[in-house]
Structure formats: structure tokens, C-alpha cells
């Protein structure tokens, strides 16, 4: 399988107990097992931590379970993109403008394009933009 770019919505869908049994989560687990590389942009770690904290505040997770989920994240074998920001920012901004995305979402798309990767997401606008750019997607 090709490399995989994992966005926050897909990762949280895997890790949050009330979402982890959905059909999309099962497909993503299988893709994670067969992906040659798993890539995330640098902001992914903060985004994931924030998602866990929001789930705790909304009573979807206890604090103890939130800490377990954060530990699971740390154990994932992901490659954090360390490409120079000055090189990827113009492309990210162009994608955001062209497709009406946030810079955060456009950074996932830019990374998937640059790495020739499949993009895993649950974000409809991001998936639509990825398909328009010829990027293979996983829901």
C-alpha cells in the first residue's frame, strides 16, 4: 500500500471509544496495518491533544482514558513532517484558497500530494478537495 497521511478527524475516530467501532474505523485500521509509511504534519500532535481534551470536557472520555489515548498516540509509528515550512507554506496557502480549506486542513492535503500518499480523513470538505487534486482518499 502507498504511504498514508492521517488527519486528526480520522485518528480521533479510531481512538475515541464512541467512534472506534464505525465501519470507517475498521477500514482505517486495515489501512494502517498495510501502509508503508504514516505521515502527519507537525501541528497534528497539538490537534490530537486538543481533540482529547475536548472529548474529556464533553464527557466522551474520562481524564484517565484521555491519558491512555495520548499514550496510544505516542506509540503510533508516525513520521512527523519536518519539511521546511517556508517551502510548503505557499503550496498550503494556495490549496486553502483554491478549495476553501483552513490552513490546517490544507496542510494535510499538501503533505499527501508531496508524499504521493493516501489521505485518511472524516472531513468532507478536505476529502472533496483531495479528490479534486487527484489524491486517493480513505474515509
Written as tens digits, the pLDDT of the chain (139 aa) is 789 999 999 999 888 887 766 666 777 777 777 777 899 999 999 999 999 999 999 999 999 999 999 998 888 889 999 766 777 899 999 999 999 999 999 999 999 999 999 999 999 999 999 999 999 999 8
- Which residues lie closer than 8 Å to 95 by C-beta, 6 or more apart? 101, 106, 109, 110, 113, 129, 133
Within the chain, where are the H helices?
A: 8-15, 23-34, 44-57, 63-75, 85-99, 103-115, 124-132
pLDDT value of residue 22: 67
Instruction: Give the count of domains, the chain.
Output: 1
Q: Domain containing 19 — which CATH number? A: 3.40.50.1010
The answer to whether 60 and 98 are in contact (CB under 8 A) is no
Q: Residues 8-31: pLDDT tens digits?
A: 999 998 888 877 666 667 777 777
Domain extent, residue 117, equals 4-138
Q: Say whether 39 sits in a helix, a strand or coil.
A: strand
Region of 59 please: left (phi>0), alpha (psi -120 to 50) or beta: left
pLDDT value of residue 20: 65
Amino acid at each position: 500500500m502507498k504511504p498514508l497521511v492521517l488527519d486528526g478527524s480520522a485518528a480521533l475516530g479510531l481512538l475515541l471509544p464512541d467512534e472506534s467501532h464505525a465501519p470507517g474505523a475498521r477500514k482505517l485500521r486495515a489501512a494502517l496495518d498495510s501502509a508503508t509509511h504514516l505521515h502527519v504534519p507537525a501541528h497534528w500532535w497539538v490537534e490530537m491533544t486538543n481533540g482529547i481534551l475536548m472529548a474529556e470536557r464533553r464527557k466522551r472520555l474520562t481524564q484517565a482514558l484521555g491519558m491512555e489515548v495520548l499514550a496510544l498516540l505516542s506509540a503510533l509509528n508516525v513520521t512527523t513532517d519536518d519539511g521546511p515550512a517556508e517551502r510548503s507554506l505557499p503550496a498550503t496557502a494556495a490549496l486553502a484558497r483554491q478549495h476553501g480549506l483552513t490552513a490546517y486542513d490544507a496542510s494535510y492535503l499538501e503533505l499527501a500530494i508531496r508524499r504521493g500518499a493516501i489521505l485518511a480523513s472524516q472531513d468532507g470538505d478536505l476529502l472533496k478537495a483531495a479528490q479534486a487534486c487527484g489524491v486517493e482518499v480513505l474515509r
